[in-house]
Structure 1
Amino acid sequence: MDHKLFKRERWNRILELVNERDFLSIDEMKKLLNVSEITIRRDMKELNDRALVQKVYGGIKKIDSNPPEAQFAQRRMSHANEKALIAKLTIEFVEDGDTIFIDASSTTFEFAKVCREKRNNLHVVTSSLVTALELIKNPTNTVTLIGGIIRADNMSVIGTTAEKMVEDLNVEKAFISCRTFEPDEGTFETNPSESVIKRKMADNSNKVYLLVDSSKLFKKATFLTVPVEKINAVITDGKVDELINVLPKKVKVVHGV
């Protein structure tokens, strides 16, 4: 079994247990997961650093509240391997010096991390607080954070001010994700302002790249956001044959395993 996948499954089990019991000791985790104390202590540190648990004497405890950082970290862990793969595939569509939109999603955040490492002199407009903070770690980048109301659970900026700002900007490429994607219609969202912002990003870009893991494919949500006719490429991890059969011929499907 892949080591990273095993670790992800172990973390998910730890989170399930600590949510059930409120506190887990090091000895309990060693017995329940059948791993060494060194491994447990490493897991404890990484989960604590991601604000998913609180490390205490002798073990870990459930976090009393659910701050925005923890909510976003939990979303990042969902289908994490798929999102990392999609990010690596998507970087091939970015060149040094590009001017781009990046939306506020956990998938495009993984893509932003790769951009920070692999590309320079990017001009990025984003509605994501965490993406903006990630990209400015590379001092060659210029980052414009869209202004408006902060949506805490998504670490994003929404509202009429944000929508107006996006409407007045034009870029070469937009990199977006979605809540769901129905390939004969387009992308869908559940938040109306997020939907408007992503639609305007697509409208004001020369090319649109959709980053979407296979768990979101062939599903609908409340708000149709970006019609499939606006999309130039779909970057995903699976269901490739089904996508090719339904998508317009002009839409490129990029995938990995």
Structure 2
Amino acid sequence: MKASDRHRAILDLVLMRDANVEQLSSALGVSEATIRRDLAQLAKERRLVRTYGGATARVGTHEPEASLEERKATQREQKEAIAHAAAAHVADGDTVFLDGGTTCAALARHLAARQQELHVVTNNLLAVMTLANAPGVQLTLIGGDVRSSSMSTLGPLAELTLSRLSVDRAFLGADGVVAGFGLCEASAQQAWLKECIVSRAADVVVLADTEKLGRARQQYWTPLQRPWRLITSSLAGETLLQPFREAADIALEVAPCGPSDANAGAADDLPSFAG
């Protein structure tokens, strides 16, 4: 495992709970000496705090958000596979919500091609461009403030609109998804909007590629305290999937993904203490 990947895994682990050198060594399959060097480097970079025998997260630790172009370019095959699997959960006549993000935008493309009678409610401007002229689709755009990094809307106006409607199924994206915790986001407005969506949906489906599983490097959370479904890709290793398999309130679905994305998924097979 590359040092950068190992550092990322260490940060994910200590953000979930304090961890000692022995635990980190066992989880990552490297020597305790390597872990100590990694912790020293991460502490020097002020990304965590060293403790006696281990480390804890810095208060307020978070990573910069990826740009929209970066998001479009990463994990494309996984997102398409996940979107294809998600589309199978949409029936003729359904009212569905599509969250912001590129995976939900991929789902919009699948729905536009299906010639179904649907009512799609969304805050995803990428999805709006796809669905605006789709036959049989009634489209409702949730208004609000435009967030350029995801091309989605949020804020008080979006929250007010959501309080006046309900949907059969909500498809949500996230910066990270952790069993037992929920969805993590870069802003309080994003997290609260997702909580509003969850409260108005009969069913909740989270769409997350392998890079999002067990990822807890943002500061704001949407708790999922109800049964929900996670759709991810077959490139996720069992270590990543296990916390979701063990959670009684999560239905885990693994979408088949082609071998050409195997290298992209390999670095994501990182352990998590979550769940």
Match of 1:253 in 2: 252
Q: How far, CA to CA, are the matches of 1:209 and 1:96 in structure 2? A: 18
**Pair 1:138–1:146, CA change in 2 (3 A):** same
SS, match of residue 188 in structure 1: strand
SS, match of residue 153 in structure 1: coil
Q: How far, CA to CA, are the matches of 1:129 and 1:240 in structure 2? A: 34
Contact 1:198 1:226 in 2 (8 A): no
**Pair 1:249–1:239, CA change in 2 (3 A):** farther
Match of 1:174 in 2: 170
TM-score between both structures, scaled by the size of structure 2: 0.64
1:222 alignment partner, one of 197, 205, 219: 219
2:142 alignment partner, one of 130, 141, 146: 146
SS, match of residue 158 in structure 2: helix
Q: Does 1:92 align with 2:88?
A: yes
Structure number with higher relative contact order (C-alpha < 8 Å, ≥ 6 residues apart): 2
Q: How far, CA to CA, are the matches of 2:147 and 2:98 in structure 1? A: 16
Q: How far, CA to CA, are the matches of 1:226 and 1:97 in structure 2? A: 29
Structure 2's unaligned 5+ residue stretches are 1-66, 258-275
Contact 2:208 2:230 in 1 (8 A): yes
- Give the Å deviation of 1:222: 1.0
Contact 2:214 2:240 in 1 (8 A): no
1:198-242 CA deviation, whole Å, 9 max, x = no partner?
Answer: 111111101000000011111212111142x33421000123564
**Pair 1:166–1:241, CA change in 2 (3 A):** same
Match of 1:203 in 2: 199
Match of 1:239 in 2: 237
Give the CA RMSD over aligned residues.
1.7
**Pair 1:73–1:117, CA change in 2 (3 A):** farther
Q: How far, CA to CA, are the matches of 1:231 and 1:107 in structure 2? A: 21
SS, match of residue 249 in structure 1: coil
1:33-54 CA deviation, whole Å, 9 max, x = no partner?
Answer: xxxxxxxxxxxxxxxxxxxxxx
Structure 1's unaligned 5+ residue stretches are 1-70
**Pair 1:201–1:119, CA change in 2 (3 A):** farther
2:183 alignment partner, one of 187, 211, 216: 187
Paired AA for residue 248 in structure 2: K
Contact 2:226 2:249 in 1 (8 A): no
Instruction: Show the 5 A alignment for 1:152-167.
Output: 152-167=148-163
2:119 alignment partner, one of 123, 143, 152: 123
Q: How far, CA to CA, are the matches of 1:199 and 1:159 in structure 2? A: 12
Contact 2:121 2:139 in 1 (8 A): yes
Q: Does 1:133 align with 2:129?
A: yes
**Pair 1:76–1:224, CA change in 2 (3 A):** same
Q: Which moved more, 1:167-176 or 1:235-244?
A: 235-244
- Give the Å deviation of 1:158: 1.4
- Give the Å deviation of 1:119: 4.6
TM-score between both structures, scaled by the size of structure 1: 0.68
Structure holding more helix per residue = 1
Overall identity of the aligned pairs, in %: 26
